[in-house]
Structure 1
Amino acid sequence: MQQMTAEKQRELGAAGLRAYPNVAQAWGLTESQAARLLGTPESTYRRWKRQPERASLDVNHLERLSLILGIYKNLHILLPREDAADTWVKRPNANPLFEQQTPLERMLSGQVADLVAVRQHLDGARGW
C-alpha cells in the first residue's frame, strides 16, 4: 500500500475537520464527546476546530474522521428524514451490537474498533 504524503494527510485532515463540527452539532455532541470520538483532548479539538488547516492529524485521527463521516453519510442514506438520521446515535438500540445502549455510547468507548463496528453495521444495512 502506498504511503500517504504529509501534504496529502494535512489536506485530508483539514477537509475532515471542516466537516466534523457540523456532524458533532447535528448529533448534539458536547465538545468533550466530539473530542473523545476523535481520540484527542478537548483543548486539541478546539484548536483544530478553529484552524483545521494547521491541524496535524496522524493516521489514527484520519481513520476516526473517515469512520465518523461515513457513519453520518450512511445514516442520511438509510434514514432520509434528517431528524431521524441525526438522532439515531442517541436512541437505545436493541441490536446485540449495542446491548440496549445507544450507538453513541458504544462509539464513545474510545476504541477505533467501536467506530468500525458501527460503520460496518450501517454498511451492512445498506447492503455493502
Structure 2
Amino acid sequence: MATTVHVGTQATAHSRKDLTGPALRTFFRIAEAWGLKEAEQMKLLGLDNRSTFQTWKRGAVAAIPKDALERISYVLGIYKGLQILLPRTADAWVRKPNEAPLFAGRSAIERMTSGNVADLYVVRQYIDAQRG
C-alpha cells in the first residue's frame, strides 16, 4: 500500500482523475484490513448515497470530489501511522475503546465515522503525535 495521495489547493480535475483510481483501491484495501462495514466506509468517504458508493467501489468513476480525496488522504495517513506504531495490532486498534481524551472511551472508528472530515483530521493528528 505504497500509494500516496496528496491533496493540496492545486487539486485540479485532471489530477483528481489521476488520483481517483489509486486512492479508491487503497481505501478499499484499508477498509478490508480494518473490517469496516459498508456504512462505515460510506461515512469515511463522506457519502450518503449507496449507489454512488457502489459505483466508486467498482471503480466506475472518472474523478471523485476533492473532499473525498482529502478524506482518503487522512485515512491513508492514519493507516500508515498505525502500521509504524503498532505493527502487530494496527488494524485492530481502530475498533478498541480508547481512554485518550480525544476518544473519551470510544474507539477511533467511532470518532472517524462521525461524518465530519475534521474528525479524520484530529485522529490523524493524534496518531502523528504518538509517533513523535
Counterparts of 1:15-94 in structure 2 under 5 Å?
Answer: 15-40=22-47, 41-51=49-59, 54-81=61-88, 84-94=89-99
Query: Structure 2: where are the runs of 5+ without partners?
Result: 1-7
TM-score by structure 2 length? Answer: 0.88
Q: Compare the two structures and name the one with the higher helix fraction.
A: 1
Q: Retained in 2: the 8 A contact 1:39–1:61?
A: yes
| Aligned-pair Cα RMSD in Å | 1.4
Distance 2:68 2:23 in 1: 10
Q: Is the 8 A contact 1:13 1:57 kept in 2?
A: yes
- Contiguous gaps of at least 5 residues in structure 1: none
Provide, for residues 73-125 of structure 1, a one-character-per-residue CA deviation record: whole Å limited to 9, x for no partner: 110010111xx100100000000000100010011110000000000000101
Percent identical across equivalent pairs? Answer: 48
The answer for the alignment partner of 1:14 in structure 2 is 21
User: How far has the Cα of 1:59 moved from its partner?
Assistant: 1.2
Pair 1:73–1:2, CA change in 2 (3 A): closer
Could you list the structure 1 runs, at least 4 aligned residues long, displaced by more than 4 angstroms after superposition: none
Residues of 1 paired with 2:122 and 2:107: CA distance? 13
2: CA distance, partners of 1:70 / 1:34: 16
Structure possessing the higher relative contact order (Cα contacts under 8 Å, 6 or more residues apart): 2
How many Å separate the matches in 1 of 2:104 and 2:32? 25
Q: Which residue in the other structure is 1:126 paired with?
A: 131
- 1:44-86 CA distance string (max 9 Å, x none): 121111025x2431111110010001101110010111xx100
1:10 deviation in Å? Answer: 1.2
**Alpha carbons 1:67, 1:115 under 8 Å: kept:** yes
Q: CA deviation at 1:11?
A: 1.2
Q: Aligned pair count? A: 124
